[in-house]
Amino acid sequence: MTACLFTTRRCLMRWLGVALACLLLPVSLSGSYAQAQTKPPEAPPPGARSASAPPPLMLQHPSLSASLIAFDYGGQIWTVPRAGGQATLLVAGQGQNSGPVFSPDGSLVAYTGTYDGNTDVYVVPATGGQPQRLTWHPGRDVAVGWTPDGKNVLFRTPRTTPRDLEQLYTIPVTGGTATQLPLPSGFQASYSPDGGRLAYVPFSQWQPAWKHYRGGQTSRVWIAALSDSSVVKIPRDNSNDRNPLWVGDTVYFLSDREGPVALYAYDVKTAKVTSVVRNERGFDIQSAAAGPGGIVYDQFGTLNLYDTTTRQAHAVPVTISGELPQTRAHLETLDPGQILHAALSPTGKRVLFETHGEILSVPAEKGDVRNLTQSPGVADRDPAWSPDGKTVAWFSDQGGEYALHLRSADGLGPVKVIGLGQPPSYFYGPLWSPDSKKIVYTDKRLNLWVVDVDHPTPVKVDTDRYDSPASQLNPAWSPDSRWIAYAKQLPNHLHGIYVYSLADKKTQMVTDGRSNAASPRFDRGGKYLYFVAFTNNGLDQGWLDMSSMGRATDGRVYVMVLRRDLPSPLAPESDEEAAGDGKKAGQDDGDKKGDDKKGDGKKVAEVRIDFAGLDQRTLALPIPRVNLAGIEVGTEGIVFAAAQPVALTDEDYLDGDENGPPSLEVARFDLKTRKTDKFVDGVDAGSFFVSADGRKVLYAQHGRWFVNGADKAPDAGAGALKLDEMQVWVDPRAEWRQMYHEAWRIERDFLYDPKAQGLDLAKAEQVYAPFLEALAGRVDLNTLFAEMTGHIGLGHTFVGGGAFPKQDKVSVGLLGADYRVVAGRYQFARILEGENWTPGARAPLTQPGVNVAVGDLLLAVNGNEVKTDQEVYRYFLGTAGKQTVLTVGPKADGSGSRQVTVVPLPSETKLRLHTWMEENRRKVDQLSGGRLAYVYLPDTAAGGFANFNRYYYSQVGKQGAIVDERFNHGGQIADFIVEQMKKTPQMIDATREGEEMVEPAQAIYGPKVMIINQMSGSGGDALPWLFRKAKLGTLVGVRTWGGLVGIGGYPPLMDGGSITAPRWALYGTHGEWEVENIGIPPDVEVEQDPALVRQGHDPQLEKAVAVALDQLAKNPPQTFTRPAYPDRKPVLPETGR
């Protein structure tokens, strides 16, 4: 039995792959659409391929020239003649390349490339050649199109936005300075032939593959006059319109207004929309591009060409021949960061690691790494080593569903498979009994199971009450293998400790339910049961509620004396002579009972539990009260207790995740001496294990793993494991097949709706399975995942990560500034203000002694002259976080210049957000004459909690408040914020000196107006929903995202990728799904009109202020008059009588 210390508080979740021959994939797709003169051509339906047809190719993002079609496939750029045929590789390399766009004359191709860990815009000759990098900012720059004259590439980037939005820029094809278009935001775009107008999509979507989506992020196409930024909106009824293509007097675009995404046209002169290519039953058209005489589009597996003259469409046959590097099988050396689970051998000689779907055995000191499973394309998870050292157990999906596998610890001999029953599920945490005969484990369905490995029929022990992150049954064996202790959720959401008897198959609760009890562990002597309990963290159990945050909680470790005849382990101590038999008075010898044998031949004490009076035999150990994460036991009388940080602070939020997740501090308590000593700190959560003999520990610190003795605190760095020889054989195609099935299993088992919103999951898996065989890269698999799960029709079906070609990150430093070109030099046009006392809001140019001002010229960086023929960011390669010398001055010739040393930032995102918040706060203060507060909530998690506490209470005394939740990324249910804003005056505190105080004191009592937009989602949907339910005030802006479901707790895919399935969903008290795929509409709708934004306005913010001031005028602040002091006419007793 190897024990592991797991955190008892909430946490969320997060992998790779040599061939002797290259994979050649000759594929030819051909076909044509039947045409009718009276109606648009129709796209073919799913399943139209014959059974003998080759698998469809994931050819994406096509672009069209007079003679060629360019597209991306497997992270590389290819071209093929317009008539189809053999494709030619245009751009390869270790990076990910996508989105090719032909220049107007067809001579050049702009594309998006990810190299050196950075995504930028590149351009390459259409006939091949050396690509040229145009953008150098460390943010994501994506090629979108060209200016009509072919001199500039149009691209989108979030480089200067504070949150979520991207903006459109142009950059000369020869390199140079990027110029922002006069629009507040933009995602996709196409110029009018004269270049004076732009058809564009104003913002992106979080889930573009969400079928039948109708929330606040439905995409739309606007036509902007670049002269004044006024817009005309293409008519729509809340459909998703995107991918505009301006050809002559027509703007073509893609839309789902009549079902699956099809091609439509908007006549600029008549303002009428017509159908161009129908798609009643087919796969969605993913993207389209216009070129001479036609429009090319990809329909998830085929390239198609629509002739704008004949109005006919046909499929373009494409053959791909050549090496596809990402499909080659190979031997992969794994990074320790890929380790998912660990287990320590009984005496600490070896460690089992789950990594990349394999179970590896790593020596603590001597020997080689062994791969015990050697199963490419199979997910092997959660290893456990039997206490007798003979057998290793793990869960494996080798048979299609997860089962328990057993094998000799040396990796030799056959594998024994134990089926885990129906329905199939995900299983966790196998834990051997001390006698190595049984295994206890849990499953996704909240069940606790035990199975005898010689008589393998699983027996259900119990079922937890709530499916929440707090569901941690966390079982533990008694040393005689006859009892299982575990922690189960109670109706009050606290946990109680339960004990299960294998002999009579009965369960009994042994705590009283008035505290949150967890982490039960039997002492190895069999006399005691230890556990952790909190009496002050009841609110923490409302894990979804923001009111569970920011509270200092502490718990204690308790010991339960199991038998009534045992003395207290904490009885008063006294030095006495031993009695005649050599034992001290009262010394117990009840532990001699029992005849079970350990592997070392020693007798195992029989564990007997006298349930009557257990509560009176429960004592608090003299371990300091801390915010406990859990406990583990060592040898008899030894307890390891782990503490963790309590709550995030402002600084933690602003500093982001730069320091990684909170770590644990582990203490060692000795029951014999009753002393607690620090054992080790900086331990990664969930990574502390004790060996079966109690004499060794395994733990991780910042991803490095150590094995040391359990008897004393280890020296820093001692016992480090050598992990640079962990290797596995990776077969990408086998892995992709496994992960494809895994993805559907996750949707099947984790979706809150067992009917998957009416989608036949098994059929959907069959429909999309043919695409697997022709994937060329990991990015294709993610695209497949997103598209197929989009049919579920729910928010939060996210896809990410995976084994992509490795790249060494080359940083680009940022100064927290915007630039313009003056006299052939880059001039500082804007310098962002920071809070230099807060790490995450540090502004490099406003540090003491730097004194760079707006209007100064940037002349050199580290002695290299800065010229405007390249983007300014080119000069900051490799400078992030490093001392960098700037030469700045007032004149282009360098006269009067000076040198300053700064430390550039790796990202300006937090700094720009802070600057935007402060500018908004000052604007509200100015517009309201100081009467209104401004509070920005970036999310409903740590950031929103920190911001509310900081900015709301610091503005108490204002007469009303503007609460801005635009771009709110959600997190939890913001009940805390709503409850605080509901406070009304109840009484006034009159004092002799000083001003009167209204109670409750920390409140803003006047009108509240909340600003919402389409980028407010999840918890950002729930907050305005609660705001409206509580009748707190007016909602101003536009409809929110409409994704009020929750995610978390999924197994990572074997190569480190991830896929989610909405696990929790929220409906209203009237029994309706009020928000999902709908969003929260505003009371006062206000778009961010581009023309007004161009003039310096924030229409939504300004309207919110106007609404609040109007409400203040109608309902002035309440005033209070102190009543006259009472004259009680007291009569004093007379004296002297």
- Report which of 135, 106, 113, 108 is spatially closest to residue 124, judged by C-alpha positions: 108
For residues 781 and 799, what is the distance between their CA atoms, to the nearest angstrom?
Answer: 10
Is the Cβ–Cβ distance between 170 and 134 less than 8 Å? no
First to last CA, the chain: 88
* Interatomic CA distance for residues 870 and 385, integer angstroms: 59
Closest of 939, 992, 915, 778 to residue 325, by C-alpha: 778
Q: Helix or strand or coil: residue 336?
A: helix
Neighbours of 177 (CB within 10 A): 17
Residue 1003 to residue 397: CA distance in whole angstroms: 56
Give Cα separations from 870 to 123, 132, 176, 813, 826 (angstroms): 14, 12, 4, 16, 11
Is 471 among the catalytic positions?
A: no
Under 8 Å CB-to-CB from 1054, ≥6 apart: which residues? Answer: 15, 356, 357, 379, 735, 738, 739, 742
Q: What is the DSSP string of 666-707?
A: EEEEETTTTEEEEEEEEEETT-EEE-TTSSEEEEEETTEEEE
Which of the following is catalytic: 796, 811, 914, 969?
796
Is 796 annotated in the active site? Answer: yes
- What's the Rg (C-alpha) of the chain? 33
Cα 341 to Cα 357: distance, rounded to the nearest angstrom: 11
Q: How many CB atoms lie within 10 A of CB 448?
A: 24
How far is CA 860 from its chain centroid?
Answer: 39
DSSP designation for 365: S
522 close to 528: Cβ distance less than 8 angstroms: yes
Specify the DSSP class assigned to residue 545.
Answer: B
Is 762 exposed, middle or buried (CB count within 10 Å of its CB: 0-12, 13-18, 19+)?
exposed
Helix (H) or strand (E) holding 445: none
1097 is an active site residue: no
* Among 370, 343, 344, 346, CA closest to 354: 343
**Do residues 690 and 3 lie in contact, with contact meaning Cβ atoms separated by under 8 Å?**
yes
According to DSSP, the residues that pair with 265 across neighbouring strands are 252, 274
What are φ and ψ of residue 1114, in 5° steps?
-80, -30
User: How far lies 7's CA from each of 231, 544, 643, 664, in Å?
Assistant: 53, 17, 9, 9
Of 219, 481, 1018, 1058, the catalytic one is 1018
- Burial class from Cβ neighbours inside 10 Å (0-12, 13-18, 19+) for residue 987 reads exposed
478-481-482-487 Cα dihedral, nearest 10 degrees: 40
Q: Determine the Cα–Cα distance for residues 785 and 100; give it in Å rounded to an integer.
A: 22
Helix (H) or strand (E) holding 1130: none
**Whole-number Å distance between alpha carbons of 896 and 859:** 11
Burial class (CB in 10 A: 0-12, 13-18, 19+), 467: middle
Residues labelled as active-site residues: 796, 1018, 1076
